[in-house]
């Protein structure tokens, strides 16, 4: 059975994006990017909401990224090899290969994926992750704390949930980033 993993960078004060939705504050250096790649290698399927998917589509054609580094190119290969499932009521089509569009998030369908797939699954973005968390689907939380505070914006974790976690790993990465890895307690 595969695991559903919520992997996300976050500000020290718990946000994934500031008031303007800018993600400039969370651009990783080469060391952090290599670390992210190692966490993503076991992922065979990504679950995305529309906004997160649209941000990630750049990895389909990484040569358009200014100052493309070897670690970024490695991430592009990892991302391209994985299946993507996009949940959106407004998208008409998807623009990347190995991608399927779904209109509604169906917790039972995700449970079935977890039971059937031989590889891990990642859920990305705070809105979609909140649905998966509230449905009791998330097995692991892998959070990268970026040494910055945004003061407001989109919270990385939903409010009004009570989940016990066991710490599996923690470490300092790059220039002050901190990796926290938790498993949902059974």
Which of 18-22, 45-49, 165-169, 182-186 shows the lowest per-residue confidence on average (mean pLDDT)? 18-22
Compute the mean pLDDT over every residue in the chain, rounded to the nearest whole number.
Answer: 95
Domains along the sequence of the chain with CATH? 4-184 (3.40.430.10)
Reported as a pLDDT band with limits 50, 70 and 90, residue 148 is: very high
> Model confidence over 37-80: pLDDT tens digits?
999 999 999 999 999 999 999 999 998 988 899 999 999 999 99
- What kind and span of H or E run contains 116? helix 107-116
CB 48, CB 60: distance < 8 Å: no
Question: Residue 21 pLDDT > 90, yes or no?
Answer: no
Q: Which bin fits 154, alpha (ψ -120 to 50), beta or left (φ > 0)?
A: beta
E-strand spans in 65-118? Answer: 83-87, 99-102
Q: Rounded distance, CA 10 to CA 148, Å?
A: 9
Token reading at 165: 């976690």
Token reading at 75: 């991430």
Q: Rounded distance, CA 18 to CA 112, Å?
A: 34
Helix (H, G, I), strand (E, B) or coil at 170: strand
> Model confidence over 77-123: pLDDT tens digits?
999 999 999 999 999 999 999 999 999 999 999 999 999 999 999 99
Q: Rounded distance, CA 141 to CA 158, Å?
A: 13
Token reading at 42: 């076991």
Helix (H, G, I), strand (E, B) or coil at 73: helix
Q: What is residue 66's predicted lDDT score, i.e. its pLDDT?
A: 87
Q: What is residue 119's predicted lDDT score, i.e. its pLDDT?
A: 97
One DSSP character per residue, 1-65 reads ---EEEEEEEETTSEEE-TT---GGG---HHHHHHHHHHHTTEEEEEEEHHHHHHHGGGGSGGGS
Work out the percent of the chain whose per-residue pLDDT is above 90: 88
């Amino acid at each position: 059975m595969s695991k559903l993993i919520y992997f996300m960078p976050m500000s020290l004060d718990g946000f994934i994006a500031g008031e303007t939705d800018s993600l400039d504050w969370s651009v990783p250096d080469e060391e952090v990017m290599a670390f992210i790649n190692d966490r993503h290698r076991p992922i065979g399927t990504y679950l995305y909401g529309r906004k997160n998917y649209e941000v990630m589509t750049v990895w389909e054609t990484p040569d358009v990224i200014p100052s493309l580094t070897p670690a970024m190119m490695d991430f592009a290969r990892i991302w391209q090899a994985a299946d993507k499932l996009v949940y959106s009521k407004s998208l008409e089509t998807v623009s990347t290969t190995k991608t399927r569009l779904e209109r509604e998030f169906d917790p039972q369908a995700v449970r079935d994926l977890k039971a059937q797939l031989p590889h891990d699954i990642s859920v990305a973005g705070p809105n979609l992750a909140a649905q998966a968390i509230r449905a009791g689907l998330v097995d692991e939380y892998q959070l990268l704390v970026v040494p910055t505070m945004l003061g407001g914006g989109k919270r990385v974790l939903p409010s009004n949930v009570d989940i016990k976690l066991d710490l599996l790993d923690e470490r300092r990465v790059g220039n002050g980033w901190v990796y926290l890895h938790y498993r949902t307690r059974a």
